[in-house]
């Protein structure tokens, strides 16, 4: 098997999560042996962003994103903190940022304020964004149209029509383990309708592990199962999926 048969770039993970603290060196080596050649691990506040940067410094295949997650907008992390962290040479994106109306709807004004500040920062620094959208499709689309950042809508859960609008803006669709779930509804149709050149593969590790590992701790080499499902849906080879999505990631994140 050639390297191109297993060319994996995981564009969204959370390896700063405590679940990965033990034996991480061994895990990285296992994943590299399985073809993982790039990982972006994402911060959700100052503390986790610092951990993401520390991992990026230590491991050659890891890059970092720094940001304030919508679930962390009431933390003490400031936009100035994110600005400073983003100057690190292995920071390749502002994220994870976005809107989440699933867990909280009582702080929409604060979510919007923090998000807009980070979108402005990303544009000023010419960095892509990793955008979280949960139950906030209309506002997400409105703000993306307003600011027009480069980046990806992570764990895309919208409709085919929304995906088309996102792609018109020049952004990518992030697809992970949910694609393999039996109860996945819109996502298979979105993938079928979207050009492979506009899709990024991701895990959201340790969350959302694909079938046959659903419910277990996710890891970047499990992207192989997402790629297999995507290849089946799009009637192309798994190698084509991995090669093109790897190229997409390198281009978007300027790696």
Q: Say what the pLDDT of residue 1 is.
A: 33
Angle at 129 between CA 207 and CA 242, to 5 degrees: 60
CATH number at residue 98: 3.20.20.140
Sheet containing 129-134: order of strands: 8-13, 36-42, 62-66, 91-100, 129-134, 151-154, 172-175, 199-201
Contact, 77 vs 45, CB < 8 A? yes
The domain of 20 spans: 3-252
Q: Say what the pLDDT of residue 6 is.
A: 56
Q: Say what the pLDDT of residue 3 is.
A: 42
Residue matched to tokens 């919508």: 70
* Tokens read off for 152: 């990806």
* H, E, C per residue of 166-227: HHHCCCEEEECHHHHCCCCCHHHHHHHHCCHHHEEECCCECCCCCCCCCCCCCCHHHHHHHH
- Choose among 212, 149, 210, 203: nearest CA to 175: 203
Q: Say what the pLDDT of residue 4 is.
A: 44
- Choose among 64, 147, 58: nearest CA to 98: 147
DSSP summary character for residue 90? T
Whole-prediction pTM? 0.96
Number of compact structural domains in the chain: 1
- Choose among 226, 139, 144: nearest CA to 191: 226
The per-residue pLDDT string of the chain (255 residues; one tens digit each, 9 = 90 and over) reads 334 455 899 999 999 999 999 999 999 999 999 999 999 999 999 999 999 999 999 999 999 999 999 999 999 999 999 999 999 999 999 999 999 999 999 999 999 999 999 999 999 999 999 999 999 999 999 999 999 999 999 999 999 999 999 999 999 999 999 999 999 989 999 999 999 999 999 999 999 999 999 999 999 999 999 999 999 999 999 999 999 999 999 999 999
């Amino acid at each position: 098997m050639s390297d191109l048969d297993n060319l994996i770039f995981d564009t969204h993970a959370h390896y700063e999560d405590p679940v990965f603290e033990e034996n991480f060196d061994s895990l990285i080596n296992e994943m590299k042996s399985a073809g993982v050649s790039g990982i972006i691990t994402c911060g959700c506040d100052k503390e986790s962003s610092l951990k993401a940067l520390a991992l990026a410094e230590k491991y050659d295949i890891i890059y970092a994103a720094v940001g304030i997650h919508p679930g962390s907008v009431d933390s003490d992390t400031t936009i100035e903190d994110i600005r400073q962290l983003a100057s690190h040479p292995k920071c390749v994106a502002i994220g994870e940022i976005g809107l989440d109306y699933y867990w909280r709807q009582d702080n929409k004004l604060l979510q919007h304020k923090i998000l807009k500040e980070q979108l402005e920062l990303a544009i000023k620094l010419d960095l892509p964004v990793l955008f979280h959208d949960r139950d906030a499709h209309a506002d997400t689309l409105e703000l993306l149209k307003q600011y027009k950042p480069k980046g990806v809508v992570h764990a895309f859960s919208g409709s085919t029509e929304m995906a088309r609008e996102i792609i018109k803006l020049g952004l990518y669709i992030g697809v992970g383990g949910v694609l393999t779930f039996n109860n996945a509804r819109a996502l298979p149709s979105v993938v079928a309708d979207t050009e492979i050149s506009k899709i990024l593969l991701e895990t959201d590790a340790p969350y959302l592990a694909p079938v046959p590992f659903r419910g277990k701790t996710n890891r970047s080499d499990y992207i192989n199962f997402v790629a297999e499902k995507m290849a089946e849906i799009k009637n192309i080879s798994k190698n084509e999926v991995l090669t093109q999505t790897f190229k997409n990631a390198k281009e978007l994140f300027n790696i």
